[in-house]
A and B are shown apart, each in its own frame.
Chain A
């Protein structure tokens, strides 16, 4: 605690970390201003004791005020610089999102056309096309995740809510993961409820949410086993959950699992891929949609992740 406090006083180090000069760094300027105020009060006291002339006192007050104005101006400039940098970052990300995703969209759609071709493509070529499609989707997902993090931080995360069936969406996503699960000796079991639950949320974002949960469950599962998906009626709300028999999450990592760029210590042993932002983005999407997220886990036995959303009547 004390160590952290003293570390926070190392202004030069903090300013270096933000990659700004000392005279543009708000931390340093505030400390300088505080120090100057203390010194000027003490000096005014001593000078006022010795010289009783009002002209001297007025001059001192004027000098102190001018110096404070200069420092305040520097502080405001430094904040403006931070705001400008933030604005440039947002614009840069907006351009990057467009420029990087356009060629990926083009690949995606050309692959769609190839997949739609009924003649002239053999089995071997179809396998290659599938790999291109999967890798392209992986790249799109990574760019989307990074953009999502940036938008969450800028509070510019745009959701387009619409009414959709959670069961249908889950079935659609599972269809895409059947091959991957089979290749991993895993069985995907979906306990589809008898009645259909509609929710109002951003369907595209929730497709990404469910995909991410299924993808994680497969990647962090043992050599074989079951992954069970369940949708339960909670009255006014609906609970979606996915239970795996995988590696689980170590106790010391549980509190950090939804943190940005965090990857559990045992996750790194099983999967080298991944940016460690999937669950951070997922949590934000669910909470921005009026829902909540949670999980239960036992290391070495598996995890159950769930989210709860209000039902659409």
Chain B
């Protein structure tokens, strides 16, 4: 029997800090999303190809494949190049922001400046567009 189509939007969180990904997961599930977590860049990339999420929340400093490399490679994949990527990091130099936006990031959020509710709100806004 085929699975019933899920109405829940699927979000892949690529974050190496377990405390942060856990908090994000709780909040995003509360907000009605289905959440997958990857703790390094390579696993995240593989999961992005397998799970086909509707949006990726991506940290920049990650083991095994950093966020910039992740976005670069995602751009060259037909399945992933149009996927919204929200960068969620504590890096904040104009160089990092410009580089992420050039690589196609939909939004650039600095973790320390956003509450969990604000992150969830931002994602809802992106889906609403």
Contacts and interface: CB of A to CB of B under 8 A. Distances in A.
Given A102-B17, A158-B97, A97 B90 contact: yes
Contact of B23 (A101, A110, A160): A110
A151 B112 contact: no
Q: Which of A106, A116, A158 has the most CB of B within 10 A?
A: A158
A158 B61 CA distance: 18
Q: Is the interface of A mostly helix, strand, loop or mixed?
A: helix
Nearest to A105: B111
Given A110-B19, A144-B112, A158 B27 contact: no
A158 B91 CA distance: 11
B38 to A, nearest CB: 17
B76 interface: no
Q: Which of B23, B92, B117 has the most CB of A within 10 A?
A: B92
A237 B94 CA distance: 27
Nearest to A155: B94
Interface of A: 90, 94, 97-98, 101-102, 104-106, 108-110, 112-113, 116, 140, 143-144, 147, 151, 154, 156-160, 204
B115 interface: yes
A158 B23 contact: no
B24 A156 contact: no
Interface in B83-128: 89-98, 108, 110-117
B89 A98 contact: yes
Contacts of A101: 90, 110-112
Interface residues of B, number: 28
B97 A105 contact: no
Contacts of A109: 19-20, 23-24, 27, 115-116
A105 B112 CA distance: 5
Contacts of B111: 101-102, 105
Q: Which of A94, A140, A143, A144 has the most CB of B within 10 A?
A: A94
B30 interface: yes
Q: Which of A90, A106, A144 has the most CB of B within 10 A?
A: A106
Contacts of B93: 90, 94, 151, 154, 156, 158
B37 to A, nearest CB: 14
A144 B98 CA distance: 19
Given A110-B23, A112-B23, A156-B95, A102 B116 contact: no
A113 B116 contact: yes
